Amino acid sequence: MEQFHGTPIFEKTLGTPSLQKNVKTLLVCKFDSTVKTTLAYHRINSGKLLPRLLACEHVPDDVKIKLCKLSGAKCSVEWMKEFSLKRKVAESSGDVALEVGEAAVEESQDPSAGKRRQRQQLLDGRTVDKISKAEAMAINFFLYTFFLACRIPFFIVDNYFFRQFIGALRPAYLEVMPHRTALGTTGVDEVYETLATTAAHLDRVPGRRTLSLDGKTDIRGRGTVNVCEGKQAITAYVTTRYVGAREHTGQMHANLAQEYLGDGREFVAVVADNTGNMRKMFNILRILYPFIFFLGCAIHVLDLLVEDIAKLDEMAEIVADWHFVTSFLKRHSLLYEAFLKRQSKARHARGRLGDGPVTLKLFPLTRFAYCYLTIHGGLRSWALLRDVPDYSEYAVVKTTISQK
């Protein structure tokens, strides 16, 4: 009996064998004699035969399912979608005529294939099969905003696993989901147009404007200044200026601010952070615009305040000690692995596995919150840290350091 994708489909062979290579042997399907094919060079043309078998009413559904599972052809995928839809309709109406022996098919699959099939059945049972053009455009805008706001590289949108995730959430959207080229053209244009519309709306809001300047370094390491304008209850992004290799002095920022202030009659205040060059900019602009308020960013002030707490002598000494302990332990992998092993044993002994381990965190000494997390992780693990000098691994590390 001839095998087709590992399934015995053809049981009757017509024709006389020959030693010539190009002799074609006629094969007849055992389920339907009208489905015939030729065996050329000892092979079956599956591209032409598979659609005929799937369309044949006499071939059992369990056989078709097995053929589709073993074949990755487009017709197999389409038939499985139609079959799943028919089965759901039949189950909802109480029709059991489409109940097939899929158990036998599942037994022939490996466990992982069975789990994949179960997951797909769950998704097929609750997802929407159609999506309107307007709905797709609305989802596209949020996708564009997500990639731009989070600074995610555009090529991620074509990643196989990302698209597989989107397909699990909404299969119909996957068919119209934009690719990386659309993100860099249509996506950027749509998001920018929305921001420009918000900026244009400022003209219709009563009151004078507030100019905001914020210097930062972009993902490519270039110096930039973000420019925003706002009125009561609304803030609009204006542009990002690349300052390039120019020296970031107060005069340079003052010249930049003047481009947007003009005569200053439309503005009530200028807001920037409290760095030295921005304070110098304020001093220059106060002479040119004596009727404008120049305000340091309140959030930046609070950030500097809590940062200065960590610079007090009492705090700085504590932070330095814990920073040394944490960095020393994490710098020597042999010692750190021994610490993690003992930490895991201690958690099992206490029976508090659901709490998760207290990790030792090593942050830069630039923020009070970072310093707190470093000290907090060390104090929570102090019962284990104080025994580190007694580790056999510590003796090995100590000897290695002495030799160096």
SS (H, E, C) the chain: CEEECCEEEEEEEECCCCCCCCCCEEEEECCCCCCEEEEECCEECHHHHHHHHHHCCCCCHHHHHHHHHHCCCHHHHHHHHHHHHHHHHHHHHCCCCCCCCHHHHHHCCCHHHHHHHHHHHHHHCCCCCCCCHHHHHHHHHHHHHHHHHCCCCHHHHHCHHHHHHHHHHCHHHHCCCCCHHHHHHHHHHHHHHHHHHHHHHHHHCCCCEEEEEEEEECCCCCEEEEEEEEECCEEEEEEEEECCCCCCCHHHHHHHHHHHHCCCCCEEEEEECCCHHHHHHHHHHHHHCCCCEEEECHHHHHHHHHHHHCCCHHHHHHHHHHHHHHHHHHHCHHHHHHHHHHHHHHHHHHCCHHHCCCCCCCCCCCCHHHHHHHHHHHHHCHHHHCCHHHCHHHHHHHHHHHHC
Task: With a cut of 50, say whether residue 16 has pLDDT above it.
Answer: no
pLDDT (average), residues 275-279: 87
Query: How much is the pLDDT for 103?
Result: 45
pTM (2 d.p.): 0.48
pLDDT (average), residues 324-337: 85
Query: How much is the pLDDT for 12?
Result: 45
| CATH no., domain 205-296 | 3.30.420.10
Query: How much is the pLDDT for 34?
Result: 57
pLDDT (average), residues 205-231: 86
pLDDT (average), residues 45-53: 68
Task: With a cut of 60, say whether residue 171 has pLDDT above it.
Answer: yes
Range(s) of the chain covered by CATH 3.30.420.10: 205-296
What share of the chain has pLDDT > 70, as a percent? 71
At 23, the pLDDT band (50, 70, 90 cuts) reads very low
Query: How much is the pLDDT for 254?
Result: 92
Query: How much is the pLDDT for 333?
Result: 84
pLDDT (average), residues 369-393: 82
Task: With a cut of 50, say whether residue 404 has pLDDT above it.
Answer: no
Task: With a cut of 60, say whether residue 95 has pLDDT above it.
Answer: no
At 126, the pLDDT band (50, 70, 90 cuts) reads low
Query: How much is the pLDDT for 18?
Result: 43
**If you average pLDDT over every residue of the chain, what do you get?**
76
